[in-house]
């Protein structure tokens, strides 16, 4: 994408780096940015050369401040009705990110609040700079936090989830790590580098296995264990060329050459 785009895309080996580029609005999710994210994640899922996606943002003031409330206020003033997120023509951006069949990492270069935190929760892993704060102030704005309502109690103890939702207060990066909301806390300015390090390590592993792990984890969420164990999502690693290559490479004491099939 062009440098002045609201979403920058860069390939680094088998990793796609997506950078939200609205620093003047704290990288808030405008309809245009949401649409660009949906398109980018759908395309990354379909691209066989992409094995991991890292999502970050420009600057260190904010990863994402959530929905663009100034834009919404103007729409309210103009009498434009609010469209529920699951009733729009386009797909729900958090759902698209969550269901992407490639491993996803959010590099939190700055605070992630409201829809910005939901966007981070939709990713598989989260790396936070030490100054990052996370929060869901929707109850203070009369909004809903629909994705977080569903996901947060699945990710942290219910009391912590309800406290974050009901009070709308922010927590720091270290508390977020203690509760498992982030995987790593790093010095300011190093979130992307650490996320790329994780992505590089992920990309050393078999693409078929990674896809099976991701799809099974997503599709099995909420299913009874007997039903979950019988899922057969995507390409089977057990009958794949990658499985044969992985075993052969181990025996021959060399790095495997994955073909993703």
CA distance 133 to 62: 9
Give the CB-side neighbour count of residue 3, counting CA atoms within 13 A: 0
258 in a structural domain? no
- 116 and 188 both lie in a single domain: yes
| pLDDT tens digits, one per residue of 212-261 | 999 999 999 889 999 999 988 878 899 999 999 999 999 999 999 999 89
Residues 74 and 46 in one domain: yes
- At 86, the pLDDT band (50, 70, 90 cuts) reads low
**Measured distance CA(210)–CA(229) in Å, rounded:** 17
CATH number for the domain that contains residue 116: 3.90.226.10
Q: By percentage, how much of the chain surpasses pLDDT 70?
A: 90
Catalytic residues, which ones? 138
**196 plus 231 within the same structural domain:** no
Q: What is the pLDDT of residue 1?
A: 43
Residue 234, domain extent: 207-251
Q: What angle do CA 128, 120, 48 make, to 5 degrees?
A: 105
3-state helix, strand, coil in the chain (%, to 5): 45, 15, 35
> Residues 88-142: pLDDT tens digits?
666 789 999 999 999 999 999 999 999 999 999 999 999 999 999 999 999 998 8
Q: Is residue 260 part of a domain?
A: no
- Widest pairwise Cα distance in the chain: 68
| pLDDT for residue 146 | 92
- pTM for this predicted structure: 0.91
Across the range 4-17, mean pLDDT stands at 95
Residues 216 and 191 in one domain: no
User: Which residue in 196, 195, 200, 205 sits closest to 243, CA to CA?
Assistant: 205
pLDDT tens per residue across span 154-171:
999 999 999 999 999 999
From CA 164, how far away is CA 261, in angstroms rounded?
A: 43
Is 1 domain-assigned?
Answer: no
Pair type for strands 15-20 and 7-12: antiparallel
pLDDT at 71 over 90: no
> How many Cβ atoms are within 10 Å of 261's Cβ, its own excluded?
10
Query: Is residue 115 in some structural domain?
Result: yes
Rounded mean pLDDT, 72-95: 68
Span 139-157, average pLDDT = 92
Residues 47 and 172 in one domain: yes
d(CA 127, CA 109): 8
**182 and 231 share one domain:** no
Closest of 86, 150, 96, 114 to residue 27, by C-alpha: 114
Q: Indicate the DSSP class of residue 87.
A: G
C-alpha span between 189 and 98 (Å, rounded): 26
> Rounded to 5 degrees, what are φ and ψ at 206?
-65, 125
Same domain for 55 and 169, yes or no, is yes
Report how many domains make up the chain: 2
Residue where a domain stops, chosen among 168, 185, 203? 203
pLDDT digits (tens, 9 = 90+) for 176-222: 999 999 999 999 999 999 999 999 999 999 999 999 999 999 999 88
């Amino acid at each position: 994408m062009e440098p002045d785009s609201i979403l920058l895309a860069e390939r680094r080996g088998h990793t796609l780096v997506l950078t939200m580029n609205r620093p003047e609005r704290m990288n808030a999710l405008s309809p245009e940015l949401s649409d660009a994210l949906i398109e980018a994640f759908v395309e990354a899922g379909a691209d066989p050369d992409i094995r991991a996606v890292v999502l970050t943002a420009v600057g260190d003031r904010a990863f994402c401040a959530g929905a663009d409330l100034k834009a919404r206020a103007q729409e309210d003033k103009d009498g434009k009705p609010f469209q529920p997120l699951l009733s729009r023509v386009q797909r729900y951006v958090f759902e698209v990110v969550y269901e992407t069949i490639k491993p996803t990492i959010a590099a939190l270069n700055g605070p992630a609040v409201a829809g910005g935190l939901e966007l981070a929760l939709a990713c598989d892993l989260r790396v936070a700079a030490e100054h990052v704060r996370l929060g869901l102030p929707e109850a203070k704005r009369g909004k809903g936090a629909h994705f977080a309502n569903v996901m947060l109690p699945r990710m942290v103890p219910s009391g912590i989830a309800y406290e974050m939702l009901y009070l709308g207060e922010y927590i720091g990066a270290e508390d977020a790590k203690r509760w498992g909301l982030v995987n790593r806390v790093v010095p300011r300015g190093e979130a992307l580098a650490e996320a790329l390090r994780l992505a590089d390590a992920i990309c050393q592993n078999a693409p078929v296995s990674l896809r099976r792990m991701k799809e099974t984890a997503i599709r099995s969420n909420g299913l009874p264990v007997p039903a979950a164990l019988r899922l057969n999502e995507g390409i089977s690693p057990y009958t794949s060329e990658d499985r044969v290559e992985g075993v052969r490479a181990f025996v021959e004491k060399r790095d495997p050459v994955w073909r993703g099939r």
